[in-house]
Structures are given as C-alpha cells and as structure tokens.
A and B are shown apart, each in its own frame.
Chain A
Amino acid sequence: GEDVEQSLFLSVREGDSSVINCTYTDSSSTYLYWYKQEPGAGLQLLTYIFSNMDMKQDQRLTVLLNKKDKHLSLRIADTQTGDSAIYFCAESVKDGNKLVFGAGTILRVKS
C-alpha cells in the first residue's frame, strides 16, 4: 500500500545543517516533494525531485533520493530560526494524481 514515514522531531542549532529523512513504499512514484508548514499557515512547496534523479540542489536545500531503498532526505544548510516549521514529504501515486503525505517532521532551530 501507500505509506510515507518520517521522523517526528528534529532540533538543531542556528547555523548548523538539518537533515530530515523520509521513506516511502510506492515504487511507482514519479515525483517526490518536500513541503513546509509554518504555524497557522498552509503548505508551501519547497522543492521536488523526479524519480530518475539522485540529487537536486536549490540554494540552501539539497534533496537526496535513494530509489533502491525508497529513501528521501532534505538537507537544509546554515539553518536559520525562520526555518522552524513542520516539514512534510509526499509522494505522487496513481499516475501522479494523488499525493500521500508523511506525518511531518517538526524542526526546531535554537538560536
């Protein structure tokens, strides 16, 4: 079945790197996404990766995909207090017409 799992909580110091991990089960997923949700706000798309890619970098964000192990990670370099939020990974299933979300990882950045 479709399932996405994430670690629930991560605490880092300002300036350090953060790595948020995610595993998924649907091997037919074509796209995988990372979303950010700040308190009281909707979801903001941070980045995505196509399933035939191993890595994607976008400014402070690096996404690594291990398709064999169905493992996805999001690395945030030089983490800032404004990065404190909940981060959701999501996989596209059913020909890309449905997103399955993980439970979300709460990132707390200590100054």
Chain B
Amino acid sequence: SAVISQKPSRDICQRGTSLTIQCQVDSQVTMMFWYRQQPGQSLTLIATANQGSEATYESGFVIDKFPISRPNLTFSTLTVSNMSPEDSSIYLCSAAVHSRSRGYTFGSGTRLTVV
C-alpha cells in the first residue's frame, strides 16, 4: 500500500527558531494536507497544499507563520516559523493516496516541543 514518509519524527526547538517538516508520498497526489494535533486534542487542518499554486489556509492559520511548499506531486514541506511553546504539537501530513473514497493516508507525524 502507498506510504507517506514524514520527517523529522520529533524535535525539540528553541523559541524564536523555525522548523521545516517534510513529507514524501510514494505516488503522485493532487492535494496534500497539513494538520496539527495539540496535546490531548483532535486534529485541526492547517492548510491544503496544492501543486502549482499557493496553499489554502484554514481560519486561524496564516502563511507567515506556517509557510508551505509543494514543488511537485509527491512532496510538500511545512515550516513552523518563529516558534513559541504554544506551537508544541504533533504535526501530520496527509493525502488521498488512492482516492477520497478509500480515505486519507497520514504520515507518522512530527512531535514538536518548543522550549
């Protein structure tokens, strides 16, 4: 079955710095999605990454804080900029690898701790 590889799996970062998370899909997909899962909470969609156009951000998330790249149909990055302890979360990427009817596949997540 198709796989999404996400890295790093975890990181501890100093406040004020930035971290870039990478996701690689082993097949071409039209859209990739970035989610945040704050401690003990559910997943919240940050943005949809479209190849060839700017990402579409959900309410409460802005490009300056979470810039996204989508250089091709198999790869995307999410950067968490100017981090604060409130950004400590699990960040997950996702894609409809087969088709929407067969569900979305998720990467294994990046556990970010900001100190």
Q: List residues of chain A with CB under 8 Å of any chain B CB.
A: 30-31, 33, 35, 40-45, 48, 50, 88, 92, 96-104
Chain B residues contacting A101 (CB-CB under 8 Å) are 42-44
Known: A33-B103, A50-B101. A42 touches B109 (CB 8 A): yes
Q: For the complex formed, measure the closest distance between the CB of A67 and the CB atoms of chain B, giving whole angstroms.
A: 17
Q: Is the CB of A43 within 8 A of B106?
A: yes
Q: Is the CB of A98 within 8 A of B48?
A: yes
Contact count A vs B, C-beta below 8 Å: 52
Q: For the complex formed, measure the closest distance between the CB of A63 and the CB atoms of chain B, giving whole angstroms.
A: 12
Known: A98-B48, A104-B42. A31 touches B100 (CB 8 A): yes
Q: Is the CB of A88 within 8 A of B43?
A: yes
B31, B105, B109: the one contacting A41 at CB < 8 Å is B109
Q: Is the CB of A102 within 8 A of B42?
A: yes
Q: Is the CB of A45 within 8 A of B42?
A: no
A104–B107 Cα distance when bound, in Å, is: 18
Interface residues of B in 41-70 (CB under 8 A from A): 41-45, 48
Q: Is the CB of A48 within 8 A of B103?
A: yes
Chain A residues contacting B111 (CB-CB under 8 Å) are 40
In the complex, the 5 A-B pairs of residues with the closest C-beta atoms, listed nearest first: A42-B108, A45-B103, A43-B106, A101-B43, A103-B42
Interface residues of B in 11-45 (CB under 8 A from A): 31, 33, 41-45
